[in-house]
Amino acid sequence: MDTLLSVQNLSVRFRMRGGRHIAAVSEVSFDIAPGECLALVGESGCGKSVLAAALLGLLPDNARTSGAAHLDGLDLLTADEATLARTIRGRRVGLVPQSPAAHLTPVRTVRSQLREAIRELTGTPRRRLAEATVAAAARAAFPAGHLDRHPHELSGGLAQRAATALALVGDAPLLIADEPTTGLDRDLVDRTVDELRRHADDGRGLLVITHDLAAAERIADRVAVMYAGRIVELAEARAFFGEPGPRHPYAHGLLNALPERAFTPIPGMPPELGALPEGCAFAPRCERATEACAVLPDMPTGTEGTACWFSLRPLERVHA
């Protein structure tokens, strides 16, 4: 299978005052093929959005990255700002940001921002810009009657749809959608993920970062589960959401917390990223933990895998 994006051992550390470091992302590896959607799921604060920012060179100055992230022969982690700004962002990699209000220009209407993106990224003739702008808005279910509004005049859901419309304009080979369904009702969630799915079905890559497991099930080919900065499970979406189901206890708990399933929350809280244990970070919350969990298991590096000492056993038989 061809690879569009190859991420190998990506780590992100934030240097804090007093010399302290926070390990926001640790040794993350995954590939995305043309035509594939990978859903990156996990609780808030596990490092999903930091990973996306690292791929686009949008981390703050106190961040340090290591590893590699190759797209079309270019390592995104070592590319300079000029290369990222001129040839990557918007052109090779599109972004639906987690906080759209921060990415929309506050003094310009949605229409003017869409028109500029269409002109710059597609070369559409001026005589066709008006029609193309309305079409781009409709693609993200953004109402044409709101195109002449400024970002501060939009609700959170409308701002999200405006940001999605902008991200889709260039039909970038890789699209990163960071919580693209925030603020949307269920019908619009389904419509948005279906449009994003079409982006992948046309032969492009799609990385969807979400806590909405229903949306992930609807859109993903594979699922990567992140916990405390690490990917703890990589699985085919059909197997993950169906049979045999997830193999990592944390991933199992995420699904069981859904209202349509057991509706049983995972006990406890995620660890602080600045004080991670030496072994499995999920062990303090895991009823299946043993002394073996004091040693960190290997992270998944291929298309499938589980970072758990008991991943080869069905979950209900761990104590058998």
- Would you kindly state where each structural domain of the chain is located, as residue ranges? 5-83+173-317, 100-171
pLDDT surpassing 70 at residue 319: no
List the 21-32 sheet strands across, edge first.
21-32, 5-15, 63-71, 74-75
Mean of per-residue pLDDT scores for the chain: 92
Whole-angstrom distance between the N-terminal and C-terminal Cα of the chain?
Answer: 39
List, in order, residues 6 or more apart from 139 with CB less than 8 Å away: 165, 168, 195
5-83+173-317 classified as CATH 3.90.550.10: no
**What pLDDT, on the 0 to 100 scale, is given for residue 315?**
46
H or E element: which one contains 63? strand 63-71
pLDDT band (50, 70, 90) for residue 18: confident
**What pLDDT, on the 0 to 100 scale, is given for residue 26?**
96
List, in order, residues 6 or more apart from 5 with CB less than 8 Å away: 31, 32, 55, 69, 70, 71, 174, 205, 207
Which position has the higher pLDDT, 45 or 317? 45
The pLDDT tens digits of the residues spanning 59-99 come to 999 999 999 999 989 999 999 999 999 999 999 999 999 88
The pLDDT tens digits of the residues spanning 174-196 come to 999 999 998 889 899 999 999 99
**What pLDDT, on the 0 to 100 scale, is given for residue 1?**
63
Q: How many CB atoms neighbour CB 220 within 10 A?
A: 28
Nearest residue to 145 via CA among 137, 185, 186, 249: 137
**What pLDDT, on the 0 to 100 scale, is given for residue 312?**
46
In terms of Cβ atoms closer than 10 Å to its own Cβ (0-12, 13-18, 19+), residue 183 is: middle
**What pLDDT, on the 0 to 100 scale, is given for residue 313?**
52
